[in-house]
């Protein structure tokens, strides 16, 4: 399996095979049932401007190796940063020692679902390596665009940034798998703010462009019309400042993909992680209402609802060739015709559920962290002949059109959520009737998805996502994409956030 590019030679030149041979041989000698080794190099760069002046340009590279073992049915894990065979052997020994100390707490033997062995290379789809672009060029572009925004009437402050990541992984295990992978992702963002000093009020408006598994070409406009969006931002901000405060109540909502991706992430993506459904995240990220006894029976939402897990989507932030347990990327159903039909699993979870195979959802955010079950690209499928966003709005008599994500919060079983947005528009008689302020929507997951009465067509579909989804202890961050069309939800509770905060 290979993309258009190859993994950078500088990574392949590391002593990858020697490290694997040393660690895995030692682990087997110490009696481990399973062992794997990862070598990861993660290059990151953030360029951040404040009011068109460079505030920080931080450039980082994290390079390390990790050994994970199953020893007498107990996990053990050790990580370090010195890439020598001697250190790989030491880490194998330390991982076994960790397993031995932990054995006093272990009552469930670890067993892994089987997977074929692979020897291959995979590179994500991108055109321009962001780390090959001179810093001065990046700073100049952000400065130019920030200055244009600052020059607009009513814009007092502008924040801009672009985050860039290049992730390289080598994985090897005692079953014989050897994989080499490289992924690139970028996330540009601009926020314009206005301040009314007399009243002490202020307001902001942020661009909607999502983080993507693409290269610098995305920042240059391939896949997103930056300059067009930035040109509209000041007027949108001016309108938001003058907008009336919403009247709390129940409204029909047309939710744009720029907002709906995050609702999917929180209320479907995390809720269909099997480790959560089984209680493995109970103390931290929480469990899930979508428990295993409800598989194939839980009416998650409307019959129009079809959701997939996918580790193969082009430009997806969670797209890989193989996961961090050597499982090949796949696509599968999570919700079909509104019914829960699947979970996201890793090899241990798959075995616990008696599944033949993991669907490849193991991920560690660096060599210093153990792989845990993390999210695939979880996406709501459009209706093949579905309406446009304008047609969805046209069918609403009294409602609100929701655009762009802002704050988000959901309970630890993924029932009760509250979201805000960058922009809320009043819908009257099938027409947009200006922006509203102080809006939040609040619902219970199954009620909300059950109220979805129309799903937009493929022409409305956008792949949104997050750079830094948090989970696990110690905390890890994972990138993940969520594709979705626009959709209509009937009779949703709308709060006025000013009233909520008042007494």
Partner 1 sequence: MSSLTPQEIVEQALAASTADGAVVYVTDSSEANLRWASNSLTTNGAMRSRQVVVVSFVGTGSGTAVGTVARTGTPDVAELVAASEQAARDAGPAEDAMPLLTETPPGSGDWDAPAATTSIDVFAEFAPALGKAFGAARDRGELLFGFAEHQLASTWLGTSTGLRLRHDQPTGRVELNGKSADFSRSVWAGVGTRDFTDVSVADLAAEVAQKLAWSANRIDLPAGRYETLLPPSTVSDLMIVAYWAMEARDADEGRSVYAKAGGGNRIGDRLATLPLTLRSDPDAPGLETSPFQVVGGSSGSSSVFDNGMVTPAVDWIREGVLTNLVRPRSWAEKQGAPATAALDNLVLEDPSATATTAEMIARTERGLLLTTLWYIREVDPQTLLVTGLTRDGVFLIEDGEVVGAVNNFRFNESPVDLLSRATEASRTERTLPREWNDWFTRAAMPMLRIPDFNMSSVSPAS
Enumerate residues 197-216 that contact partner 1 by CB under 8 A: 197-202, 204
Site for partner 1 in 306-365 (CB under 8 A): none
Structure tokens at 10: 């500088």
Phi-psi region of 240 (alpha: psi -120 to 50; beta: other; left: phi over 0): alpha
Site for partner 1 in 478-497 (CB under 8 A): 493, 495, 497
Whether residue 331 contacts residue 316, with contact meaning beta carbons closer than 8 Å, is answered with: no
Q: Which of 77, 216, 224, 300 binds partner 1 (CB under 8 A)?
A: 77
Q: Which of 2, 18, 101, 292 binds partner 1 (CB under 8 A)?
A: 101
Distance from chain centroid for Cα 155: 31
Q: Which of 150, 415, 430, 453 binds partner 1 (CB under 8 A)?
A: 415
Residue 339 or 367 having the CB closest to partner 1: 367
**Could you tell me which stretch among 2-10, 98-106, 299-307, 326-334 binds partner 1 (CB under 8 A)?**
98-106
Q: Which of 32, 88, 98, 421 binds partner 1 (CB under 8 A)?
A: 98
Per CB under 8 A, does 62 bind partner 1? yes
Q: Which of 18, 81, 116, 231 binds partner 1 (CB under 8 A)?
A: 81
Per CB under 8 A, does 195 bind partner 1? yes
Residue 248 or 432 having the CB closest to partner 1: 248
Q: Which of 24, 410, 454, 469 binds partner 1 (CB under 8 A)?
A: 410
Strand residue runs (E) in 283-415: 307-310, 331-336, 339-340, 362-363, 372-373, 377-380, 398-410
Please, what sign has the CA dihedral across residues 248, 253, 259, 261?
A: positive
Per CB under 8 A, does 78 bind partner 1? yes
Eight-class DSSP state of 460: G
Q: Which of 12, 28, 85, 97 binds partner 1 (CB under 8 A)?
A: 97
Rounded Cα distance, 124 and 377, in Å? 14
Whether residue 442 contacts residue 495, with contact meaning beta carbons closer than 8 Å, is answered with: yes
Per CB under 8 A, does 293 bind partner 1? no
Residue 233 or 393 having the CB closest to partner 1: 233
Q: Which of helix, strand or coil describes residue 29? A: helix
Per CB under 8 A, does 244 bind partner 1? no
Rounded Cα distance, 62 and 480, in Å? 20
Listed residue (99, 80, 120) closest to 32, CA to CA: 99
Residue 242 has a CB neighbour count (10 Å cut-off) of: 10
Per CB under 8 A, does 132 bind partner 1? no
Per CB under 8 A, does 458 bind partner 1? no
Per CB under 8 A, does 144 bind partner 1? no
């Amino acid at each position: 399996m290979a993309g258009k590019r190859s993994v950078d030679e500088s990574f392949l030149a590391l002593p990858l095979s020697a490290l694997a041979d040393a660690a895995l041989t030692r682990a087997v000698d110490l009696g481990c049932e399973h062992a794997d080794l990862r070598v990861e190099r993660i290059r990151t760069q953030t360029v951040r401007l404040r009011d068109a002046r460079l505030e920080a340009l931080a450039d980082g590279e994290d390079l390390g190796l990790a050994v994970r073992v199953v020893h007498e049915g107990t996990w053990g894990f050790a990580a370090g940063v010195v890439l020598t065979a001697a250190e790989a052997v030491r880490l194998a020994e330390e991982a076994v020692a960790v397993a031995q100390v932990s054995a006093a707490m272990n009552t469930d033997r670890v067993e892994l679902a089987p997977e074929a062995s692979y020897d291959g290379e995979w590179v994500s789809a991108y055109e321009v390596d962001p780390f090959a672009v001179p810093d001065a060029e990046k700073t100049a572009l952000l400065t130019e665009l920030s200055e244009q925004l600052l020059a607009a009437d009513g814009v007092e402050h502008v924040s801009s940034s672009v985050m860039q990541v290049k992730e390289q992984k080598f994985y090897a295990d005692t079953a014989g798998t050897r994989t080499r992978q490289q992924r690139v992702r970028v996330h540009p963002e601009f926020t314009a703010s206005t301040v009314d000093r007399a009243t002490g009020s202020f307001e902001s408006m942020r661009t909607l462009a999502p983080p993507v598994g693409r290269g610098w070409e995305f920042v240059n406009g391939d896949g997103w019309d930056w300059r067009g969006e930035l040109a509209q931002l000041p007027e949108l901000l001016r309108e938001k400042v003058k907008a009336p405060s919403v009247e709390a109540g129940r409204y029909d909502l047309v939710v744009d993909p720029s907002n709906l991706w995050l609702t999917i992430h929180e209320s479907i993506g995390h809720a269909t992680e099997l480790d959560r459904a089984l209680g493995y995240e109970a103390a931290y990220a929480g469990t899930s209402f979508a428990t295993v006894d409800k598989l194939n029976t839980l009416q998650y939402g409307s019959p129009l609802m079809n959701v997939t897990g996918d580790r193969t989507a082009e430009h997806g932030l969670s797209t890989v060739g193989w996961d961090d347990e050597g499982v090949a990327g796949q696509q599968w159903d999570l919700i079909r015709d509104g019914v829960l039909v699947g979970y996201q699993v890793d090899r241990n979870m798959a075995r616990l559920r008696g599944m033949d195979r993991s669907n490849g959802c193991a991920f560690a955010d660096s060599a210093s962290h153990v792989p845990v079950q993390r999210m695939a690209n979880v996406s709501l499928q459009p209706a093949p002949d579905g309406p446009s966003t304008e047609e969805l709005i046209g069918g609403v008599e009294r409602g609100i059109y929701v655009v762009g994500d802002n704050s988000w919060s959901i309970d630890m079983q993924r029932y009760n959520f509250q979201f805000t947005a960058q922009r809320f528009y009043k819908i009257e008689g099938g027409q947009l009737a200006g922006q509203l302020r102080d809006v939040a929507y609040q619902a219970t997951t199954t009620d909300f998805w059950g109220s979805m009465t129309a799903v937009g067509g493929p022409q409305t579909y956008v792949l949104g996502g997050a750079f830094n989804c948090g989970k696990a202890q110690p905390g890890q961050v994972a990138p993940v994409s969520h594709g979705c069309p626009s959709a209509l939800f009937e009779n949703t509770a709308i709060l006025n956030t000013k009233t909520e905060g008042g007494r």
